[in-house]
Amino acid sequence: MNSRKRTRLKLKKSLPLLLMALPGLAYLVINNYIPMAGIVIAFKKMDYAKGVFGSDWVGFDNFKFLFSTPDAWIMTRNTLLYNLAFIVIGTICALAVALCMNEIKERFFAKYFQGAFLLPNLISMVVVSYIVFAFLNTDTGLLNRTVLPALGVSEINFYSQPQAWPLILLIVYLWKNTGYASVIYLAGIASIDPTLYEAARIDGAGKWDQIRFITLPQLKSIIIILTLLSVGRIMFSDFGLFYQVPMNSGPLYSTTQTIDTYVYRGLMQLGNIGMSSAAGLYQSVVGFVLVLTANYLVKKISPENAMF
Amino acid sequence: MKRTTLTLLSLLVAACLLLIAPAAAQSTEPPVEIHFAFLTFNRVSEALESVESAIDEITVPRINVKVKLHPYSIADYAQQINLALQSGEALDVFHTLGDLPQSVSQNKVMDITDLVDEYAPDAKAVVGDFLKAAMINGRLYGIPTYKGAALAPNLVYRADIMTEIGIDPTTITSFYDLTAVYAKVKETHPEMVPLTPDSAGSLGLIRSLHGIDFLGDDPFRLNNVGALIGDSLTVVNFFESKEFTDTIALTRDWYNAGYILKDAATTTSNCLEQLTGGKAFSCIASYSGQEAYVQISAQTGRDIRMVRLGQPYLTTSAVNALTWSVASTSQHPEAALKFMNLIFSDRDVINLIIYGLEGRDYVKVDADHVRYPDGQDANTVPYTAQLSCGIVGNQFIQYAMEGTNMDDLKLWDYENKNSPRSPAFGFTFDNSGVTNEVSAVQNVINEYLPGLSTGSMDPDVELPNFIAKLKAAGMDKIIADKQAQLDAWVSQQQ
């Protein structure tokens, strides 16, 4: 009796909040959950006259093309390694930038650097690919025309040198994404209680000690959540980065082919939506399992930081 | 409101015509409305209703059909068609874009074998033996667009430079003659690139090889490991053929001699841009007729001429890439076919679809030629789909833009009818049994072909790797499947 009353009271209290969440929830259901029914396409041979749900079942046939190629290993390796590098190095760089930016007390410069770091994130990958091209191309590129001759090095055809691309792609990724990620950390830093720093200063802690013992521990949960979110996308790659930036150059496939680009190249002409759905489903399921695993590990180590 | 008055008006006109010619349409049933989708390279017009009612004025009395036009841009076309088919949205007539057998195996298009003679006899008569290209396993799935399908490879070059270096272009008959030309260009104009790609990763040389049927599409757009060479009916791996190895060896020589843009394998700037910029001497591309240079000169602002490097060769895919079909989900296949018949045979209907309303969207110059009204152009008139002239129905009954040489159009038609045809003309390969191999092979081709065909890869080193990777990706299975389907087709023909 009493508990029911309490529940009703709780409900009454949170009713406005629930109502406020309603449009968002409706959006989520309509936009993210209902279309999931389309997953069935991955197991069907699409027949437009019969429609999505009427088409014939083909079991796992649509998934075969992902594994029946000798390139399966290369594209999976590239996808995972690049994403791992992006998560680890990206997080370190974003943290470093956030910490530095936090130290800039002059308002004008703080805003200027924030804007400058954020700007690349707003540029389309297609445009980025031409900026990179302006640096690297053989006939008129800055490196081949100005920098390398000055150093006495003969010209390099970057678009046929696969070994150069892990570094190039990492630099492009960091240039484009560090600013955005650092803004999130900067917001995290701003929410740390300033009295903690005051107390630390009184106790004689230097800048480095303050970062080590206050800022980083306080940011731990944001870092973990952002990392967990990226782990969920580890089988997906930034299509623009891996397709546009290397200019779709064939000789670079050994270091630039990822699952997304492989699927795109293989299916663009086939137009088989069953196979493309299968690829998407496969990536999502692996990502889902990895997130669960990572979250489980976090729970073991520090339960208060786990997502669920 | 306006629409209803217009509809009423057209109905009135229809009624009048009915009175005058009661035999033309005996039924008093309300007209059937069909939905007609096509690709437009012009601005997608918003003034569709006025054009639709003008078409209805012709079609309602004749075939009791009304039409709704759905022009889509290239970026939207395939997706809009797929969406309409999936969602059961009204769609009756559309054209395929590329792979016809794929549309058949995914059941996007209707089998019209038993309907075509009754409802679209004129269209059938117009296209002649092109009809074979839309047949799969003896069934007919559409009517190919009737346009200049016989494409001949041409050297497209700067006439001023050619004169300057003193070479008579009529002495050039194949791309092997170009080595001497390019050497001279390089010598007199070192700042210029003698040969630029016609599209990303392709110099146009492979497309200009005569007598090759890739049994599908060309190798740059669709994986084509199995091809027919000459009159043989044995499917071979094109990339192991002498034709291919000779071509890439020549290309490699040109590349090393500096005749080719270094970034040809990856550049996305096309031939026209390079010619406009003045840094390129030539490119190799295929055109119907011999007058395409007039438009290229106008577009680039340079003095451009063309000389043929070979003769046209007709294969199935040259013809059926654009095939007018009835949607598999159509509720009115008969009405759809009746309307399709008109876009191949009725001058007024097709010109309304392409040029819009006379006086408002275009004015006539003479019996065959039109231009935009004074002070207007393609972007300002309320309706035009002029750039779809080679897409919709029959190109040869359309008006031509002012300045077009009608004799050249006659040559297009002549070459459509008289060009040599592949022994497998009419055969289409259905790749739905080997999709796993196709996607793997496609990736291997993307990896090697642009580099090899533009000379930036050394064929001595990379060709064996290419072949080995093709084999590992399942090439032999595709070739065997192609051969089996071809054999079945050949025995069917007899």
Domain parsing of chain B, residue ranges: 2-148+320-355
Specify whether the CB–CB gap between B213 and B315 falls below 8 A.
yes
At which residue do the structure tokens 């779809």 appear? B388
In a domain, A42, yes or no: no
Q: Please judge whether B439 and A275 are an interchain contact, meaning their C-beta atoms are less than 8 angstroms apart.
A: yes
pLDDT (tens digit per residue) in A222-238? 898 888 888 888 988 99
CATH number of the domain enclosing A274: 1.10.3720.10
What is the model's pLDDT at position B224?
Answer: 66
Looking at the DSSP assignment, which residues form a beta bridge with residue B136? Answer: B139
Residues within 8 A of A (CB atoms), B 91-130 only: 98-99, 102, 106-108
How many angstroms separate the CA atoms of B243 and B310, rounded?
14
Phi, psi of B285 (to 5 degrees): -150, 160
Residues B90-115, mean pLDDT to the nearest whole number: 90
Estimate the crossing angle of helix B333-345 against helix B48-63, to 10 degrees: 100
Q: Is the ipTM of this complex over 0.95?
A: no
Of B221, B328, B439, the CB nearest to A49: B328
Q: Please judge whether B102 and A257 are an interchain contact, meaning their C-beta atoms are less than 8 angstroms apart.
A: no
Sorted by sequence, the CB contacts under 8 Å of residue B287 that are 6+ apart come out as B151, B152, B154, B306
Residues B220-233, mean pLDDT to the nearest whole number: 78
Sequence-ordered alpha helix ranges (H) in B192-270: 242-256
Cβ contacts (< 8 Å) between B457 and chain A: which residues? 160, 251
Specify whether the CB–CB gap between B318 and B424 falls below 8 A.
no
Q: Please judge whether B268 and A270 are an interchain contact, meaning their C-beta atoms are less than 8 angstroms apart.
A: no
At which residue do the structure tokens 């897409």 appear? B391
Asked if B440 is an interface residue toward chain A (Cβ–Cβ < 8 A), one would say yes
Q: Please judge whether B443 and A160 are an interchain contact, meaning their C-beta atoms are less than 8 angstroms apart.
A: no
Of A50, A250, A273, the CB nearest to B447: A250
Q: Which CATH class is domain B2-148+320-355?
A: alpha beta
pTM score of the predicted model: 0.81
Cβ contacts (< 8 Å) between B82 and chain A: which residues? 48, 273
A–B: how many Cβ contacts below 8 A? 111
How many angstroms separate the CA atoms of B213 and B318, rounded?
10
How many angstroms separate the CA atoms of A139 and A158, rounded?
11
pLDDT (tens digit per residue) in B29-75? 899 999 999 999 988 888 899 999 999 999 999 999 999 999 999 88
How many angstroms separate the CA atoms of B300 and B364, rounded?
27
The tokens describing A286, both together, are 């692996």
What is the model's pLDDT at position B328?
Answer: 93
Nearest CA-CA partner of B433 in A1, A173, A51, A61: A61
pLDDT (tens digit per residue) in B456-484? 899 999 999 999 999 999 999 999 999 99
Our CA-based measurement puts residue A64 at a distance from the nearest CA of chain B, in whole angstroms, of: 7
CA atoms within 13 A on the CB side of A247: 27
Cβ contacts (< 8 Å) between B449 and chain A: which residues? 250
In a domain, A26, yes or no: no
Of B263, B329, B450, the CB nearest to A139: B263
What is the model's pLDDT at position B120?
Answer: 95
Q: Choosing among B217, B266, B466, which should be mutated to test the A contact, i.e. which has the most A CBs within 10 A?
A: B266
In a domain, A35, yes or no: no
The tokens describing B45, both together, are 């017009």
The total number of structural domains in chain A stands at: 1
Residues B283-306, mean pLDDT to the nearest whole number: 90
Q: Please judge whether A266 and B439 are an interchain contact, meaning their C-beta atoms are less than 8 angstroms apart.
A: yes
Q: Is the pLDDT of residue B3 over 50?
A: no
Of B106, B268, B450, the CB nearest to A46: B106
How many angstroms separate the CA atoms of B286 and B329, rounded?
36
Sequence-ordered alpha helix ranges (H) in A33-124: 64-67, 72-103, 107-118
Specify whether the CB–CB gap between B61 and B118 falls below 8 A.
no
Of B217, B329, B440, the CB nearest to A49: B329
Q: Please judge whether B435 and A46 are an interchain contact, meaning their C-beta atoms are less than 8 angstroms apart.
A: no
Q: Is the pLDDT of residue B16 over 80?
A: no
Residues A195-215, mean pLDDT to the nearest whole number: 90
What is the model's pLDDT at position B399?
Answer: 94
Q: Are strands A56-57 and A44-45 parallel, antiparallel or unpaired?
A: antiparallel
Q: Is the pLDDT of residue A166 over 90?
A: yes
How far from each other are the two terminal CA atoms of chain A, in whole angstroms?
31
Mean pLDDT of chain B: 88
Q: Please judge whether A160 and B265 are an interchain contact, meaning their C-beta atoms are less than 8 angstroms apart.
A: yes
In a domain, A11, yes or no: no
Q: Please judge whether B266 and A159 are an interchain contact, meaning their C-beta atoms are less than 8 angstroms apart.
A: yes
In a domain, A63, yes or no: no
Burial class (CB in 10 A: 0-12, 13-18, 19+), B93: buried
How many angstroms separate the CA atoms of B362 and B376, rounded?
9
Mean pLDDT of chain A: 88
b (16+ CB within 10 A) / e for B262-284: bbbbbbeeebbebbeeeebbbbb
Going by pLDDT thresholds of 50, 70 and 90, the confidence category of residue A2 is low
What is the model's pLDDT at position A139?
Answer: 75
AA identity, residue B242? K
Asked if B472 is an interface residue toward chain A (Cβ–Cβ < 8 A), one would say yes
Specify whether the CB–CB gap between A186 and A178 falls below 8 A.
no
| Element spanning B442, H or E | helix B435-453
- Give residue A178's Cα distance to chain centre: 11
What is the model's pLDDT at position B131?
Answer: 94
Nearest CA-CA partner of B277 in B255, B292, B261: B261
In a domain, A130, yes or no: yes
How many angstroms separate the CA atoms of A213 and A197, rounded?
10
Nearest CA-CA partner of A82 in A154, A170, A13: A170
How far from each other are the two terminal CA atoms of chain B, in whole angstroms?
59
Q: Which structural domain range is residue A200 located in?
A: 71-305
Specify whether the CB–CB gap between A257 and A73 falls below 8 A.
no
Share of chain A above pLDDT 70, in %: 98
